[in-house]
Amino acid sequence: MAAMADRDVSETRTAIRGIAAVQNALRETQLEQGRTLEQHSQVLAQHSQSLKSLAEVSGVLLAGQQHHGEILASLVVGMGSLEARVGSVEASVGSVEARVGSVEATVNSVAASVGSVEATVNSVEASVGSVEASVGSVEATVNSVAATVGRHDELFAKILDRLPPKPEN
């Protein structure tokens, strides 16, 4: 009887050691996953900061475009005024033509600036696309980690199911 009891205690100890080893392995996996999630959180925070910076840059660009619109509106008004002067003052045609040439150069300069702003906006949009792709990659990794944790939970449940029932006192 004592030998059987000793053998039962030995088997129970072996089972408990197995459970402890599995629990330790699960703890290590959870710690690794926690570190990975922390790194991903930091990457997401950096991406969030980048998006905020891009939003600020977009705001500045929009303000610049509005300012250019005001300049263009002002130039259109100025051109109308010049055309009225040309019609009423034929003696100063040469002077008016010089002014019109100057205004046209300004319009070309403004148009070139608008083109530059549009190129910058396209670049910002490309950067936003890249950040969105990175966020998608991080989300996929988080989903993968969640799936791994789920599989570990299932394995742990299976191990617990296979353990002999706890002896009643």
Task: Tell me the pLDDT tens digit for each residue of 78-91.
Answer: 888 867 765 675 65
Arithmetic mean of pLDDT over the chain:
85
- Is the Cα torsion angle 89, 93, 99, 103 positive or negative in sign? positive
Of 112, 135, 113, 132, which is closest to residue 124 (Cα–Cα)?
Answer: 132
pLDDT at 85: 66
